[in-house]
Amino acid sequence: MQLNTQEGVHTVLQVGSMPPELATRLHREFTVLQLPSVGVERFLEENGSRVTIAVTTGLTGVSGQLMRALPNLDAVISFGVGFETIDICAAEQLGVVVSNTPDVLTDCVADLAVGLLIDCLRGISAADRFVRQGNWINGPYPLGTRVSGKRIGIVGLGRIGLATARRLEAFGPTIAYHSRNRLVEVAYPWYESLIDLASDSDVLIVAVSGGTSTTGLVSREVIAALGSDGYLINVARGTVVDENALVDALAQKQIAGAGLDVYTHEPRVPEALLALDNVVALPHLGSATTETRLDMANLFLMNLRQFIAEGTLTTPVS
């Protein structure tokens, strides 16, 4: 591609915070400006034309408005697999390429999805609290639910959804999925209707990508279709699930429980969820292992180095 800057001269704009170790590596190797939290307009007037690459995270992203304020922007390079916070339409219109860090976090997120499922059905976290609070002396902990042999519905059979399904096969379940289209390369049954999938599932695992196209996909009707013995596991994005409907269903015992790693307004979690013992609530830990975060950082920097050297990306989104 034809770059907007002189060969070998690149100024990187950091949008939002980065993990400390990655920020250190980034600032040590590249010329980096930090987008301030205040005085943004003046900063962009003084520095916007210098910026050729914007770096960010999946949590923060880069808006179309910011892209338009950077006349020589060539690329947005993101740390994270999700890119719904990046205005992809604006990037395409402006000729800005975008990258993320897929694949390297698939295993850890899939591991966590299975862990949440087991915890919810067997009540591991709640049982731990039961023991710590000294309640065991008063009688046994209530019976849990068997994990093996369950009917598992997966919403979104992409990298993470498929990796989760493969792990769960060891438990002898029935696995089916919902996605926009049937995947010819997998043998699991495909449901065109998400409500029908929820109705036929004991556990519904949400692993679909975030963004406007999936906002509220797991609706009040879908949650109701799970039924009073059903469980919801969400390792995707909080926006995919109607959070108010989920809180209502859990409080009224319309579903049996939920395992949640993501929420609509992170890091804020509805107080009503925290009061329920049939909810396992995690602070967005999907990729939060030392090994995966290192792999993500290395891939992020690989994208940045390759773009500066060749004008191409290792893992392009657009």
Q: Which of 45, 221, 266, 291 is catalytic?
A: 266
Helix, strand and coil in the chain, % to nearest 5: 40, 15, 45
Asked about 192 being catalytic, the answer comes back as no
- Looking at residue 318, its pLDDT comes to 63
Cα–Cα distance for residue pair 200/286, rounded to 1 Å: 27
Give the pLDDT of residue 7.
Answer: 46
Instruction: Give the global pTM.
Output: 0.90
What is the tens place of the pLDDT at every residue in 172-193? 999 999 999 999 999 999 999 9
Q: What residues are paired with 177 via a beta bridge?
A: 154, 190
Are the C-beta atoms of 156 and 190 separated by less than 8 Å? Answer: no
Low-confidence ranges of the chain (pLDDT < 50): 1-3, 5-7
Q: Which residue has the tokens 């797991």?
A: 218
**pLDDT on residue 37:** 92
C-alpha–C-alpha distance, residues 199 and 201, integer Å: 6
Dump pLDDT digits (tens) for 59-76.
Answer: 899 999 999 999 999 999
* Domains of the chain listed by start with CATH number: 11-104+291-310 (3.40.50.720), 106-281 (3.40.50.720)
Give the SS3 label for residue 76: strand
Q: Give the model's pLDDT for residue 308.
A: 96
pLDDT at 295: 97
Between CA 31 and CA 51 the distance in angstroms is: 10
Active site residue 266: yes
Q: Which candidate in 178, 237, 243, 293 is catalytic? A: 237
Instruction: State pLDDT tens for residues 242-263.
Output: 999 999 999 999 999 999 999 9
Q: 13 pairs with which residues across the strands?
A: 33, 54
Confirm whether 265 is a catalytic residue.
Answer: no
What is the Cα–Cα distance from 130 to 98, expressed in whole angstroms?
47
Q: What is the pLDDT of residue 8?
A: 53
